[in-house]
A and B are shown apart, each in its own frame.
Chain A
Amino acid sequence: MTWSATARGAHQPDNTAFTQQRLPAWQPLLSASITLPLFFCAGLAFIGLGLGLYYSSNGIKELEYDYTGNPGTGNCSVCAAEGQGRAPPPNCSCAWYFSLPELFPGPVYLYYELTNFYQNNRRYGVSRDDAQLSGLPSALHHPVNECAPYQFSAAGLPIAPCGAIANSLFNDSFSLWHQRRPGGPYVEVPLDRAAIAWWTDYHVKFRNPPLVNGSLALAFRGTAPPPNWHRPVYELSPDPNNTGFINQDFVVWMRTAALPTFRKLYARIRQGNYTAGLPRGAYRVNITYNYPVRVFGGHKLIIFSNISWMGGKNPFLGIAYLVVGSLCILMGFVMLVVYIRYQDQNDEDDDDE
């Protein structure tokens, strides 16, 4: 190319690595030899990780109780039978008794779980007005059309909070009682119901409309509660920091679940004597049974669980890592066999040359 360098034509292309497609390049060849170490390394790493995950998941304790009230499953069946007639159900109470033979290490989380409940249904999921929930006064009185048919009440008042999600707010409530000694009195275990929602939800996304004369009720004047609700939104809780749109239960509920079987956090147990967890003894959970799930074949569960660095109890990840890791090792061995055979061939080839 020296010649062309001296007498360069006007149309001569640039002789650079890029234009001549000579960029230095790594050219891996996918064959046994190169994948062999890859498979083994990945396999070993995965198995190690899998073991760790499996054990940490196994360390998590979980206690759950299905209180749907299907006939013959406990005292909630009474309520379930009563609630058959659809809303508004009677304020029926039932209880779940259980005992812990040993300490249930804390922090203990109290979840409720619904099954077969399609919060991810498209028409359900869009039925909300984030602007209204963020406390925008204009949106409060003019909910978006997506909320229909829970946009305006029968009286023509705007519904606050509007939409199907809000309308279907989970309204069972639980209280936990601890009997330290057999036959002793049940002491109520304090449930920390603050900070169960995402910090950003509670502090940023969900805002009450500006108070009118210092009163939340006035702020919500001219609105109607969702049809299924028994009380207006500003009376969800007596605590001013937990009522209205920023009621934590409400905020938690509004974060729609991904799958038809889901849990939502109800409370944490970390106060008083229970910072270390639930001590051994007998317990009673008082359940206010309001929420009808039997109509659509759903279940309601109450769950006590503690948590590890990787979240709640889920043995899947550990198992998955173990399985995939083993698979990698297996493939590695296959590759090894292939490699040895192939290597022989290669050597023959080399000999030929």
Chain B
Amino acid sequence: MQRESESTEEPEPPGRRRRRREGRTRTVRSNLLPPPSAEDSVAGATKGERLQRLGCVQHVADNRLKTTKYTLLSFLPKNLFEQFHRLANVYFVFIALLNFVPAVNAFQPGLALAPVLFILAVTAFKDLWEDYSRYRSDHEINHLGCLVFSREEKKYVNRFWKEIHVGDFVRLRCNEIIPADILLLSSSDPDGLCHIETANLDGETNLKRRQVVRGFSELVSEFNPLTFTSVIECEKPNNDLTRFRGCIIHDNGKKAGLYKENLLLRGCTIRNTEAVVGIVIYAGHETKALLNNSGPRYKRSQLERQMNCDVLWCVLLLVCMSLFSAVGHGLWMQRYQDKKALFDVPESDGSSLSPVTAAVYSFLTMIIVLQVLIPISLYVSIEIVKVCQVYFINQDIELYDEETDSQLQCRALNITEDLGQIQYIFSDKTGTLTENKMVFRRCTVSGIEYSHDANAQRLARYQEADSEEEEVPRGGSSQRGSIGSHQSIRILHRSQSTKSYWRTGSRAEAKRASVLSKHTAFSSPMEKDITPDPKLLEKVNECDKYLAISRHQEHPLAQLSPELSDVFDFFIALTICNTVVVTSPDQPRQKVRVRFELKSPVKTIEDFLRRFTPSRLTSGCSSIGSLATNKSSHKSGCSFMSTLSNDSMLFRLEERLGQPTPAIASNGYSSPADSWEPEYPQEPQPKQELRFEAESPDEAALVYAAKAYNCALVDRLHDQVSVELPHLGRLTFELLHTLGFDSIRKRMSVVIRHPLTDEINVYTKGADSVVMDLLLPCSSDDARGQHQNKIRSKTQNYLNLYAMEGLRTLCIAKRVLSKEEYACWLQSHLEAESSVDNREELLFQSAIRLETNLHLLGATGIEDRLQDGVPETITKLRQAGLQIWVLTGDKQETAINIAYACKLLDHDEEVITLNAESQEACAALLDQCLHHVQSRGSYTPEKTESCVNVGFSSLYLASATSTVSGPSPSLVIDGRSLAYALDKNLEDKFLFLAKQCRSVLCCRSTPLQKSMVVKLVRSKLKAMTLAIGDGANDVSMIQVADVGVGISGQEGMQAVMASDFAVPRFRYLERLLIVHGHWCYSRLANMVLYFFYKNTMFVGLLFWFQFYCGFSASAMIDQWYLIFFNLLFSSLPQLVTGVLDKNVPAHVLLLKPQLYKSGQNREEYRPRAFWLNMVDAAFQSLICFFIPYLAYYDSDVDMFTWGTPITAIALFTFLLHLGIETKTWTWLNWTACVFSIFLFFTVALIYNASCATCYPPSNPYWTMQALLGDPVFYLICLIAPITALLPRLFFRALQGSLFPTQLQLARQSAKKYPKKPETTKETLAQKHFPGDTKTELSEGMNTSPFETLSKDCASEASQHTQQPSCSPKTNREPSTVDISVPLREDTVLEDLGAQAPGSSRPDEAVLEACPENSKRKPTSSSQEAPLPSLFNLPSFSSLNWISSLSLVSGLGSVLQLSRSSLQMDKQDGEFLSTPPQPDQDLHGLQGQATDYF
């Protein structure tokens, strides 16, 4: 029940949640009433009346959906306004407008506006198109129809959605989509219930129950909107899906509370209910669904930030050039002005310009002329490239998940390249690393373990599923019922198969599962078919048989032995302690219902009295009437009762039941024979498979498990649960209360009346840590108490064992309430329930009061299987230099074991466990760990920065040879310590420590902590972070990270909605980052660099010319070329390259994940690259300027006949430069280049022939044509680009040969060995990183990979549950092989003793060390764990395999340290290290270990 994600569904801690409602209410009244006029407001008319009128005025908002930003009229101004928010646009418009100033203009003013207008137009067109598609979808939605009650016609008429108003009455039928937020007033369901599916809203496919507003549910006749005169007061519209509060005020002034159970949310679908009627509370954009819809996200990527910084450099360069030019022009003016040079042009009035003024003018003009330096098209180009990248990522078939038929989804369009630079991955565990498919694995009941070996084998077989599965036809809806039986046959087949397992094998199964899961959440065949443990099955049968015989006795359960009784209760609890809804597959979404009594959950004291007074029926009924009338002033909605005659109600009741009174008299229990309702033709056949719709996968798993033991949940109504047992038949439990799960209590309970004993039972199911504390304390005096204690300690041992196996553990407990206790509790509970303010908190308190003094029944271990490819993916990501942190809400042991299973932790590496009790303890521990890590670090050549490299290299080799150990430690920290560590004073230390660690595991962390950790790493380490998660609890983390990835799994869509990228499975992260991230980054980085190069080079040409034109800001390049060069002639090839270039092929990237580091280290686009690029650009522009200059020196060439070849040369140089930078030449690249050249010459020819007198001042008539006849033109076009690029080519080639980068090597190897021979590439890969191997080997020798530092600041002494601090092992195989990490306490202890700062306060020390612990667990102390002291064995390759049993005891002997109890530590350490070490055992096991690899 530790579903982290449910925290949003359940009320959060009450205190935090409360918000002031200061006047923020809305009042809704029926639209059918005539508008309130003066005579309505009587003198005594209350505030409500006034509000009513206000209400009518206030909420005229209709249900029209309008997501468009613009209207036809507002488009232009609004869009322009938005575009000018981008500073670059303002800049370019400013430059263009500067051209209108005659003194400084450089170009024709109109022409200068052209590019910026073009850019604006392109963006505007894009916006317009987007807006139009939004308009179209809005239109479609707005014109959906639904039934609205019309005042004129006095009936429901069809209206468009957009015509619905607040206060309208809407009638919805089954499977209709809810058009607005509607308060449920009437339902065809006799209980006043209605089921909705919220898949559209949050993706959860299970049904949710909604309830008619109290006071309307019991209404007899059909709801008549005309008679509805009540006023509804509720919150202002808000986006909190999980909360709704308000009250309904009836005419007579009575109030009833409204809760989220009464509200139907827009976008959900009505299921299981024929028809409902409700009043619209929020419409249109005020609905919660739309308020939650925040649209796509815009983030700025890191590369873009860096680029903006470089743009600023360019601006600076531009200003410098202009200043230089201005000074130069001033001097030039001074020199020639007095001399009355012929070429000096005075002002228009004949006066001559002062040099200073001229310089100022020149400065401005230079800015215009050199504006090209700031690439106007850069932003547009980047956007285009990113859109294309997103397209390609979306289209990648390898990221397509066949099971769910979903591809990767890019929700953020502009941070694709960030994917290539990630340094830290923060991952959720459940549903992200694991499948979130909970499978019942084993359980312990009453202290006896049932290992379910057959079940384990079955699960193992699922993993090696073979291809024959694919022959099995995919289960259509018609076949759904029979899958279970098919499955078992196939299992037999499969058990013979030994084929290796990878994705393909389980595809068919998964596909089937997905077909199913479209209708039912959490019910893949794997989860459903549970092979029962024979022993336990036998016991269950025994119970069943026995009870079937003795059920008519007074105390049927009393005859059972305590153990069998526990078994029985255990399964009952499994079956009913949940919120699972049963549906029948043949009639989907049809309730299978067997009603025996018209009754709602206990809602009032009277109700309680009525039901539980001994004289049940006749007297009870009359008392209802009297009580009800007497207490009609009671808040609850029973007011209607006063209007009804008791008799008629009873009569109706009996009529509807068609059920004889004895059935009622027996109160919940009816014999199998007469419990079946004959008038329900769709009554389920005994063999028919029912489907269970659960809110969380754990629940479903438990219900399926119980079903395997023939204890099947067959029906759940809001007031009763029916369980079917083979002999006992159908048992119907009266469901009194359901206390739902919440993340604070970590448990849920149901209160039922047991049909056999008529007792009131509380069944609680919850996290072991919580439930174990709530057990009824047993005195150890009497035998029974001792027995109980024994059971508990046994159970605790098993729980630990389960946790070590990575199972999710749940404790099942029970409490029997006496009627008095119940009545007492009920009183307060009802108060809590009916309170309007503070309801959540009161309910919470009430639940806590109930869930005490429990009797432990047993515990379950549920396996949450790892997703396919998770270990591989994590290994790859690690090799890629990514540091992976797992942040989970699960308990430490489970988390650690999952971490081992997915190779996040390695058995041969040190694990630092940080469990601190207090702030000081945490600080001290951090210091110790830091010291430890640093002292270790001194062995290794690299220190702080090396962490990543070390981690990588070791893993790299480890993956290849699986022998060498990784020296960097891993850190495990629990939620509480994390809270301390995240404190301002400690966060630096914590980060420093975490940075040294190979991986970090944060357990028991809250969503807030998750996001705090991400934020901390992001801000302090200035690292690129990626957060991946699937549930609502990951949302905050996803939002904080640089890149948020949501897994569109089983857990709903909330994570996806918050994410930038949504992947179907964790393993797709590998390709997304390593391939697409790398490509996107490399492409964009190269393109941005190229952009800067291009513009600098082009501007350089103009700048050099200033030296020859008196710095007068004249340009030899025609203004048209100048303005359109970037936009038209040279833009396409770079776009094509930016979109398509692959510096390394995908398969090589995947093979050598370490190539990803080039992105992390920003190798492609770092400041050095930028400046080198700029220098190269300057050089090239020098060449491209001076070759034409010298070639035409001393000739009669005119300005533009000389400038045009320079333009052409620039174009050729750009293309050739791009050619050098382009790694893959597809036909698109060629086409783009050819097209560019073609376009330039075509445009030039046309432009130069179009008008003889236009385009002043250049007036380039026939220039191009003349040039084409000039051989010198061709000659310089040949030599200049080649000369300009000669150095670059030379150095590239030299570097490529002499000092090739990893990327180049990878390309080379890819070329040598295209695609196929993976094995040779593996070796090749190794060979190419000799440096790595060397350092790694040296590390392997220098460092001590053996120490497992396990520090556990002792947890509360009072707590029974002594949790092992560090107990790594993996257990996937049925033949359990456990791995324990060798400890070396003595050194660690000395370490700690030498420097523990807390030692000055030994009195605070709480030591709870192993001997004590093991004493408490007699079973384990008998087999004292051999504490491996193998640290000096060089051959010890880190793996220490011991049997699972010894591991259990090993748990007890794990070192637990309190920060300040040093002397005692020492002793303990000695004590612990004394056990003899069977070395030979380990050697033997070592061999075994290698086998397992």
Q: List chain A positions with a Cβ less than 8 A from chain B.
A: 1, 3-4, 7, 9-15, 19-21, 23-35, 38, 42, 46, 49, 53, 86, 111, 113, 117-131, 133-134, 136, 144-146, 148-149, 151, 164, 167-168, 198, 200-201, 204-205, 228, 255-265, 291-292, 295-298, 309-312, 314, 316-317, 320-321, 324, 327-328, 331, 334-335, 338-339, 342, 349, 352-353
Contacts and interface: CB of A to CB of B under 8 A. Distances in A.
Given A12-B407, A23-B1226, A257-B1198, A125 B1257 contact: yes
Contacts of B340: 86, 295-296
A309 B1272 CA distance: 9
Contact of A327 (B1110, B1116, B1261, B1286): B1286
B1105 to A, nearest CB: 8
Contact of A12 (B342, B397, B1270): B397
Interface string B327-370: 00000000010011111111111100000000000000100000
B1275 A168 contact: no
A163 B344 CA distance: 12
A121 B1114 contact: yes
B352 to A, nearest CB: 10
B23 interface: no
Contacts of A204: 1252, 1261-1262
Which 3 interchain pairs have the tightest Cβ spacing? A9-B405, A148-B348, A122-B1114
A263 B1196 CA distance: 5
Contact of A10 (B346, B396, B405, B1116): B405
23 contacts: A7-B402, A12-B400, A14-B395, A20-B396, A21-B392, A53-B1275, A113-B1194, A117-B342, A120-B1108, A121-B1112, A122-B106, A124-B1112, A125-B1257, A130-B1253, A167-B342, A168-B342, A257-B1197, A259-B1108, A263-B1196, A311-B1271, A314-B1192, A331-B1290, A353-B1324
A149 B347 contact: yes
B1297 A338 contact: yes
Contact of B1286 (A4, A324, A342): A324
B1256 interface: yes
A334 to B, nearest CB: 7
B341 A295 contact: yes
A295 B1253 CA distance: 34
B1398 interface: no
Contact of A124 (B345, B1252, B1290, B1307): B345
Nearest to A112: B1196
Given A30-B1289, A30-B1292, A320-B1187, A3 B397 contact: no
Contacts of A295: 339-341
Contacts of B106: 122
A339 B1200 CA distance: 45
Contact of B346 (A19, A149, A349): A149
B1202 interface: yes
Contact of B1198 (A28, A46, A258, A320): A258
B637 interface: no
Given A257-B1197, A258-B1116, A149 B405 contact: no
A120 B1107 CA distance: 11
B1256 A130 contact: yes
A339 B1270 CA distance: 40
A325 B538 CA distance: 95
Interface stretch (B271-279, B426-434, B731-739, B1217-1225): B1217-1225
Contact of B1199 (A53, A125, A127, A129): A125
Contact of A317 (B1279, B1292, B1300, B1320): B1279
A3 B405 CA distance: 13
Interface in B1099-1121: 1105, 1108-1110, 1112-1114, 1116
Contacts of A331: 1286, 1290
Contacts of B474: 7
Contact of A126 (B1187, B1226, B1257, B1294): B1257
A53 B1275 CA distance: 10
B1193 A314 contact: yes
Contacts of B1203: 258
Given A31-B1296, A122-B1109, A126-B1257, 9 more contacts: A11-B406, A23-B1140, A111-B1196, A120-B1199, A121-B1109, A257-B1198, A314-B1191, A324-B1279, A324-B1282
B343 A168 contact: yes
Interface string B1113-1151: 110100000000000000000000000101000100000
Contacts of A335: 1293-1294, 1297
B1259 interface: yes
Contacts of A316: 1190-1191, 1193
Contacts of B53: none
B1110 A118 contact: yes
Contact of A200 (B406, B511, B1108, B1262): B1262
Given A28-B1225, A30-B1220, A124 B1271 contact: no
Contacts of A30: 1220, 1289, 1292-1293, 1296
A325 to B, nearest CB: 9
Contacts of A134: 1252-1253
Interface residues of B, number: 100
Contacts of A168: 342-343
A119 B1275 contact: no
Contacts of A262: 1194-1197
Residue in A35, A121, A201, A353 whose Cβ sees the most chain B Cβ within 10 Å: A121
Contacts of A15: 397
B1113 to A, nearest CB: 5
Interface of B: 102, 106, 336, 339-350, 365, 392, 394-397, 400, 402, 405-407, 470, 474, 504, 507, 511, 1105, 1108-1110, 1112-1114, 1116, 1140, 1142, 1146, 1187, 1189-1203, 1220, 1223-1228, 1252-1254, 1256-1257, 1259, 1261-1262, 1266, 1270-1272, 1275-1276, 1279, 1282-1283, 1286, 1289-1290, 1292-1294, 1296-1298, 1300, 1304, 1307-1308, 1311, 1320, 1323-1324, 1327
A352 B1320 CA distance: 11
Contacts of A130: 1252-1254, 1256, 1259
A38 B1189 CA distance: 27
A29 B1311 CA distance: 9
B576 to A, nearest CB: 38
B1197 A149 contact: no
Contact of A338 (B350, B1187, B1298): B1298
B1257 A146 contact: yes
Residue in B1197, B1200, B1254 whose Cβ sees the most chain A Cβ within 10 Å: B1197
Nearest to B348: A148
A204 B1300 CA distance: 59
Residue in B344, B1304, B1307 whose Cβ sees the most chain A Cβ within 10 Å: B344
A24 B1110 contact: no
A125 B1114 contact: yes
B419 to A, nearest CB: 15
A349 B1312 CA distance: 12
Contacts of B1282: 42, 46, 324
B1109 A27 contact: no
A257 B1300 CA distance: 48
B1198 A256 contact: yes
A136 B470 CA distance: 85
Contacts of A314: 1190-1195
Contacts of B402: 3-4, 7, 9, 12
Nearest to A35: B1293
Given A9-B405, A295-B341, A259 B1192 contact: yes
Nearest to A315: B1190
Given A124-B343, A149-B350, A263-B1196, A353 B1275 contact: no
Contacts of A32: 1293-1294, 1296-1297
A226 to B, nearest CB: 11
A321 B1286 CA distance: 13
B1253 A46 contact: no
